[in-house]
Structure 1
Amino acid sequence: MISDLFSLRQLDDLVTRTHSEGINELAAAALIEHEGRFLLIEKPSRNFELAPSTWELPTGFVRAGETLTSGMERVLAEYFGFSSAEATRYLGHNDHAHDAGRIVRVFVFAVTVEHPDSICHTAHIGHRWIDNITISDTVDGINSMLRVYYADTPN
């Protein structure tokens, strides 16, 4: 479910606009908050001898035939062990260079999950919960998403 602030139709329009810009690779990312901290997932480096692993929001590619939110829910279940996840708001998007110079547009959603502490017990992925200051320093391009998140989040 997406709140009235951003409807499913508006998301479809964003996808259509993205494709018209020549960007065909889509991904969805989840900003998951629990007790005032945000979940980050460890992304191992392809060459761990030359570069350390990085930390990012739980993210995955959206497959053909999936909506942005259904793709995100599938990724959260398959890779991170969340059996129930719900996108509550669209926060924005970023473009990232991927293999062979292709651009991937990553759509970011505020997400609630039923048992946030169950992350990775089945997925075996490095993870950590960090505060909003640390996430700003760790995840590129997150600050505009946090401003939207906090502007719309009840205290």
Structure 2
Amino acid sequence: MNTPDLDELTSADTADGIDQHVVGAVIDHDGTFLLLKRPTDDFRGGTWELPSGKVEPTDTDLYAALHREVTEETGLTISTITGYLGAFDYTSGSGKHTRQHTWTVTVANPAELHLSEHDESAWVVTTEQHPVSAEIQQLIDTHLSGPTD
């Protein structure tokens, strides 16, 4: 499994002036992955994205945040973190310099999907019918191009 040291990631982020960390997941299930559609009245409203969210002060590390965010947004439980796909930077709706770190994961209970923050979900094999941002597309392409280890 290709997974960088979490302390090295956060140290590099600090050195780069990152104000806010976000974690994201490509949830892989039987050759499909999960996309979520943001509510239209939200930041980047109406766009399709991966399950993701801010790292909170109560999270012990990026992995803890990843587990919490996947469960909060989807009701699913991560069973395995299978690899690290990379990161991208953006400016949040509140103007913070933000970096999203994204991993591939599998879940224990894919049939128990329950949305709490998004309008729609789709298990897909490509983003053709559910367009995503260029940054998310690059992460998905990395995932689809082969093993992350």
* The two structures share one fold, judged by TM-score above 0.5: yes
TM-score, normalised to structure 1's length?
0.79
Return the letter of the residue paired with 1:83.
Answer: T
- Report the counterpart of residue 3 of structure 2 in structure 1: 6
Contact 2:79 2:106 in 1 (8 A): yes
Q: Relative contact order, CA 8 A, sep 6+: which one is greater?
A: 2
Q: Which runs of 4+ in 1 moved over 3 A?
A: none
- Report the counterpart of residue 152 of structure 1 in structure 2: 147
Root-mean-square deviation over aligned CA pairs? 2.7
Q: CA deviation at 1:20?
A: 1.4
Rate the CA distance shift 1:95–1:124 in 2: closer, same or farther, 3 A.
closer
Contact 2:85 2:148 in 1 (8 A): no
- Report the counterpart of residue 65 of structure 2 in structure 1: 71
- Structure 1 stretches lacking a partner, 5+ long: none
Rate the CA distance shift 1:79–1:144 in 2: closer, same or farther, 3 A.
closer
Alignment size in residue pairs: 146
Q: Distance in 1 between matches of 2:62 and 2:86?
A: 12
**Identical amino acids, percent of aligned pairs:** 26
Rate the CA distance shift 1:136–1:12 in 2: closer, same or farther, 3 A.
farther
Aligned residue runs from structure 1 range 34-73, under 5 A: 34-46=29-41, 53-64=46-57, 65-73=59-67
Return the letter of the residue paired with 2:31.
Answer: G
Post-superposition Cα deviations, 1:62-106, rounded to whole Å, max 9, x if no partner, equal 112431111010111223101344321110011121123212111
Which structure dedicates a bigger proportion of its chain to helix?
1
Rate the CA distance shift 1:52–1:77 in 2: closer, same or farther, 3 A.
closer
Rate the CA distance shift 1:85–1:28 in 2: closer, same or farther, 3 A.
farther
TM-score, normalised to structure 2's length?
0.82
Return the letter of the residue paired with 2:55.
Answer: V
Contact 2:37 2:46 in 1 (8 A): yes
Aligned residue runs from structure 1 range 96-111, under 5 A: 96-111=90-105
Contact 1:23 1:104 in 2 (8 A): yes
Q: CA deviation at 1:143?
A: 4.0
Rate the CA distance shift 1:25–1:55 in 2: closer, same or farther, 3 A.
same
